[in-house]
């Protein structure tokens, strides 16, 4: 594996991993395993022996914090690589901006993480912590796609418009998923506040949007099949089909977790699925571009 392939793949993996490790913090009740910020406990940046919250909870929460710092290191390395190696590229400016946004995103995550701890896992700050990760994953994927020269195809305006709608709806689905999470039982601490919504109502609203998303993915696939040329059908159509199967699997996991009482393992799988759904959605957005988008 080449250096840029390793660097930009690692950045994407760790950005996605932040969602999964954040979920592990909630699902294990470790949200206040490090009860202070920016220290883990009074007088120590890391967990200490005999900490009141317990070693397991403390290290799970501290591990999630470490992931964020690894992302910062990778983002800085990415920016240095772009400045040193890619100055002659036509999209150099955009690449540099994307890398800088990864660094700024880290700063935003640190601030939101601190607010989350200091407000004792207020669901608004917990949700914001997750929502900020969504564009950061998209940015990391865009960097990887551009720098590794992944396939980009010019698609028709109708296809492009529907792609944008599908991507936007995916974002809305994830936002509603965050509301469901903030209403449900896995808060990260037994005393943490929850959104004042009826859990069943927000869960079914989320499910309705998932069904709408799957229907639109099918519509997008059919539009590609009947209106695009063979190359677009082969590459872009295959990416849309992969997105469809990932969304279907994620929907199935969602129903399983709902009807089995939200077991931690299934909820964790659903969080992993959410990152894969978003990566799949943003991937089709990167592959299928208008002629103006390719030129930028």
pLDDT tens per residue, range 159-179 = 999 999 999 999 999 999 999
Q: Could you tell me the residue range of the domain that residue 122 belongs to?
A: 1-150
Q: Do 205 and 246 lie in a common domain?
A: yes
Query: How many folded domains does the chain comprise?
Result: 2
Contact 146, 25 (CB under 8 A): no
Cα dist from 61 to 24, 96, 182, whole Å: 9, 31, 18
Indicate whether 291 pLDDT > 80.
no
* 43-99 pLDDT, tens digit each: 899 998 877 777 888 999 999 999 999 999 999 999 999 999 999 999 999 999 999
Whether 168 and 255 map to the same domain: the answer is yes
269 and 169 in a common domain: yes
**φ, ψ (nearest 5 deg) of residue 172:** -65, -40
What DSSP letter does each residue of 65-76 carry, written as one string?
HHHHHHHHHHHH
248 pLDDT higher than 90 = yes
Q: Mark whether 27 and 170 lie in a shared domain.
A: no
The answer to whether the pTM exceeds 0.85 is: yes
Rounded to whole angstroms, the Cα distance separating 71 from 12 reads 9
Q: Of 119, 134, 150, which residue sits at a domain end?
A: 150
Same domain, 103 and 139: yes
pLDDT in the model for residue 275: 97
pLDDT attached to residue 294: 55
- Give residue 245's pLDDT: 98
The whole-angstrom separation of Cα 116 and Cα 44 is 19
pLDDT in tens, 191-229: 789 999 999 999 999 999 999 999 999 999 999 999 999
Take residue 288 and report the two structure tokens written for it: 């299928």
Q: For residue 38, say if its preceding peptide bond is cis, omega within 30 degrees of 0.
A: yes
Residue 41, beta-bridge partner list: 44
Same domain, 116 and 219: no
Residue where a domain terminates, one of 115, 150, 185: 150
Buried-exposed string 157-195: b where 16+ CB fall within 10 A, e elsewhere: eebbebbeebbebbbebbbbbbbbbbbbebbbbeebeeb
């Amino acid at each position: 594996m080449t250096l840029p392939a390793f660097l930009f793949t690692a950045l994407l993996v760790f950005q996605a991993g932040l969602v999964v490790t954040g979920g592990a913090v909630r699902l294990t009740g470790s949200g206040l395993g490090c009860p202070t910020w920016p220290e883990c406990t009074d007088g120590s940046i890391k967990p200490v022996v005999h900490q009141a919250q317990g070693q397991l909870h403390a290290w799970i929460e501290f591990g999630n914090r470490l992931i964020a710092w690894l992302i910062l290191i990778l983002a800085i390395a990415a920016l240095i690589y772009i400045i040193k190696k890619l100055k002659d590229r036509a999209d150099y400016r955009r690449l540099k901006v994307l890398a800088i946004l990864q660094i700024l995103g880290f700063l935003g995550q640190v601030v939101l993480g601190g607010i989350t701890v200091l407000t004792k896992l207020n669901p608004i700050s917990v949700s914001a912590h997750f929502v900020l990760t969504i564009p950061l994953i998209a940015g990391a994927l865009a960097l990887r796609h551009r720098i590794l020269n992944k396939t980009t195809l010019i698609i028709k305006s109708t296809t492009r418009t529907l792609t944008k709608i599908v991507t936007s709806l995916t974002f809305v689905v994830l936002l509603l998923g965050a509301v469901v999470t903030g209403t449900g039982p896995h808060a990260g601490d037994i005393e943490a506040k929850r959104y004042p919504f009826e859990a069943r109502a927000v869960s079914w609203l989320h499910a309705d949007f998932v069904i709408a998303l799957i229907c639109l993915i099918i519509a997008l696939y059919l539009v590609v099949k009947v209106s695009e040329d063979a190359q677009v059908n082969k590459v872009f159509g295959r990416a849309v089909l992969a997105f469809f199967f990932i969304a279907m699997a994620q929907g199935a996991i969602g129903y399983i977790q709902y009807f089995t009482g939200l077991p931690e393992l299934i909820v964790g799988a659903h969080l992993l699925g959410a990152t894969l759904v978003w990566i799949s959605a943003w991937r089709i957005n990167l592959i299928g571009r208008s002629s103006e988008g390719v030129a930028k």
